Amino acid sequence: MNADALETGSVEMRRAVTVALVVGGLLVTTGCESETPVPQAVSATPSTSAASKTATPTATPSSEVRTVTERQRIPYRTRKVSDAGLAKGTTKVRRQGRAGIKTLTYRVTLTGGVQTGKELIRQAVARRPVDRIIAVGTKAARRCDPNYSGCVPIADDVDCAGGSGNGPAYVTGPVRVIGSDVYDLDRDGDGVACDT
């Protein structure tokens, strides 16, 4: 039997015939094959060499698909707004910020207990973030002389508005004198300047 016959799974069998001959008075027995093949259905067991060509199946690791949900923080933004009621250069928090939350749902594939795939299948905002608002002052700071209540500007000379003085700065009265009348605004000395 040849190797090709084993690989294809069919075997060709030939009939053995015994022939008796008498040669020189002696009986000679020989065996030979007939030329006519005898078909046979064979369930051949592969030889050792054929078995080595066939791969032995290995165990395939198990796969598992899970749905996993995660929560993620959404940071809030900070916005600045102008405020003419605040002195220039000052700031004030008008509203505190609050982070939002979003929910992420993934399809996770595990092979042999090890994550081999992760696909985002859904996301939703559970809570929207709230912006933090900071007011920034734009009001020009006034410089006022501390000798008067109300604001009398600090200048080389201040006169009552609508009077005969030539400035360069003016104040609309009445204003109370609480220290020294450095600009001589209280002409009658009653403690109230620019009252006429």
pTM over 0.85: no
pLDDT-above-90 percentage for the chain: 39
Residue 180 lies in a domain: yes
Choosing from 34, 53, 72, the residue where a domain stops is: 53
CATH number of the domain that residue 89 is part of: 2.20.230.10
Q: Give the model confidence (pLDDT) of 41-97 as tens digits.
A: 444 444 455 445 566 667 788 899 999 999 999 999 999 999 988 888 899 999 999
The one-letter code for the residue type at 177 is V
Residue 69 lies in a domain: yes
Is the domain of 42 the same as that of 67? no
Mapped to the 3 state alphabet, what secondary structure does 48-89 carry?
HHHHHHCCCCCCCCCEEEEEEEEEEEECCCEEEEEEEEEECC
Domain count, the chain: 3
**Angstrom distance (rounded) from CA 118 to CA 157:** 78
Boundaries of domain holding 22: 3-53
Is the domain of 43 the same as that of 79? no
| pLDDT band of 8, cuts 50, 70, 90 | very low
Is the domain of 10 the same as that of 29? yes
**Angstrom distance (rounded) from CA 8 to CA 20:** 37
Q: Which of 151, 154, 158 is nearest to 186 (CA)?
A: 158
| Average pLDDT of span 158-178 | 87
Beta bridge partners of 30: 19
Using CA of residue 78, residue 84, residue 88, residue 93, what is the dihedral sign? Answer: negative
Residue 58 lies in a domain: no
Choosing from 29, 53, 77, the residue where a domain stops is: 53
Is the domain of 17 the same as that of 30? yes
89: left (phi over 0), alpha (psi -120 to 50) or beta: left
The one-letter code for the residue type at 115 is Q
